[in-house]
Structure 1
């Protein structure tokens, strides 16, 4: 292990700090978010939603990372989470933005079953689960914002998602630290959809949790 490589003790310490800070950070959403995190911890590995190494960092690596995108999303309107998987970030977004309609788009049946269970368990009446790949919904709906987490490289993600972003809306996605390398290949796709230049943002939540990279791309209303 190198000096900069995190170990299990570091993960546990960071997770403890993240949990302690959660009531103040999440406010009214804390009850739903904490019950979601608890279910992930109990069932997530068994149901193939998270790996065994993630059990000690559900809050610090996943819940806060998902929450980091929320300040860049509209507080109401339609938000679509593509490849929602375990509900990261979609379930967290829905809990934190109760006035938004959140569409969880996921192709795998067993994950859709989980997402539907979480909607009922947490009482998230603003959630709709849509089974299928993003491309299957092109022309079926448009969202004020489309988000995703760890789904695909930016060029592929743009092809999947921009047809679902209404004119005047935005693509707002969680990406890795090296996303700048993906921008040149994505520009041609973005121009095809009349989208703007990607804006790379460094999103923070609490001191114990690493900052998150958010990429925001506007889809302007076409000029008349």
Structure 2
């Protein structure tokens, strides 16, 4: 019996609001959340302690971008306890996720989560993003709370294939960050996101290579 089963109706409702199937996704997400809560007591993986708060601020927030994620290879940079990479790996068919994290205790948790959840479409790299020697190998990279857009591209842009995209989750519309995009990159879109149970602005910023610069 999952110790967080009392949260199942709220999670199912949130998934339906996001256009996702409630089951079996909710059950698997709840297993991940229970594991995260258990490890969090010892390893301090996330500052949010309350499981109900984790449900909205971690799980549903991560999944609010799912419609914009395409099947293929995705690197989740500075993933922490696996956010948004693990929820997306559970929700998006055909997605191959590499969780990139440089803090060893978080990597230990990630490997245990991958093992317990049977996530054969997820791998864990114990490394800083800039040290990942897999240039051009990813269709998408994402970072939920890692850095500015320019900072993410500086450490992880090399991982993207020529047609690859950065999917960056931001709060308010990041006007200053967009103005500071480095040469060779361009804005594709900024999509407002609605997260069930959360108020405040949330945006998904999609950045691609600039064809003119590439030429």
TM exceeding 0.5: yes
- Could you tell me whether the CA contact under 8 Å between 1:142 and 1:166 is conserved in 2? yes
Which of 154, 158, 167 matches 2:162?
Answer: 167
Which of 16, 36, 42 matches 1:40?
Answer: 36
Q: Which has the higher helix share?
A: 1
Q: Secondary structure at the match of 1:158?
A: helix
Q: Partner residue of 1:148?
A: 143
User: What TM-score do you get using the length of structure 1 for normalisation?
Assistant: 0.80
- Could you tell me whether the CA contact under 8 Å between 1:167 and 1:221 is conserved in 2? no
Q: Partner residue of 2:4?
A: none
Per-residue displacement from partner, 1:159-198 (whole Å, max 9, x unpaired)? 112111111111001112252232222x2x1x2xx22225
Cα distance in 2, alignment partners of residues 165 and 39 from structure 1: 31
RMSD: 2.4
Cα distance in 2, alignment partners of residues 31 and 55 from structure 1: 15
Cα distance in 1, alignment partners of residues 15 and 179 from structure 2: 40
Q: Partner residue of 1:29?
A: 25
Gap change, CA 1:122 and 1:169, over 3 Å in 2? same
Cα distance in 1, alignment partners of residues 91 and 8 from structure 2: 21
User: What TM-score do you get using the length of structure 2 for normalisation?
Assistant: 0.84
1:77: Cα distance to partner?
Answer: 1.1
Unpaired runs of at least 5, structure 1? 1-14
Q: Partner residue of 2:198?
A: 209
Unpaired runs of at least 5, structure 2? 1-6
